[in-house]
Amino acid sequence: MSSDLVCWKCGAGLDGVPMPLSRYERCRRCGADLYVCRLCQFHEPRWSQGCREERAESVRARDSANFCDYFRPRPNAYQPAADTAAAARAQLEALFGGAPAQPAPPADTARAELEKLFGKKS
């Protein structure tokens, strides 16, 4: 099973890490704690306690080592951070048909349009 496990923070394989995981075990690449909620199969951030195991005690720091008795390492726990700006732009383009944004006119062109519209004051 340890060949399927990866660090929850950097995605490095945990092949050489002895099982079961010790509370003091750290990732050999990034140094992150491994006995953490973020690497557990019961971790569910959308739930009020953050854990699907109803009997588990509440843990505040889900990315720090803890003493949870229900900890079970989860394969493929690493989830790279999404590029939120690019994702939002893609959603907007899908919603509005992907029309390219028009560049802003140069400052002197904008000023000339304003003066034409409102008349130039002396």
Dump pLDDT digits (tens) for 97-117: 766 666 767 778 888 888 888
- How many C-beta neighbours within 10 Å does residue 31 have? 10
Give Cβ neighbours of residue 97 (< 8 Å, ≥ 6 apart): none
Dump pLDDT digits (tens) for 21-63: 999 999 999 999 999 999 999 998 888 788 888 888 888 888 8
Give Cβ neighbours of residue 22 (< 8 Å, ≥ 6 apart): 35
Whether pTM exceeds 0.75 = no
Tokens of 113: 């349009």
Dump pLDDT digits (tens) for 73-101: 998 888 877 677 788 888 888 888 766 66
Could you tell me where the beta strands, DSSP code E, fall in the chain? none
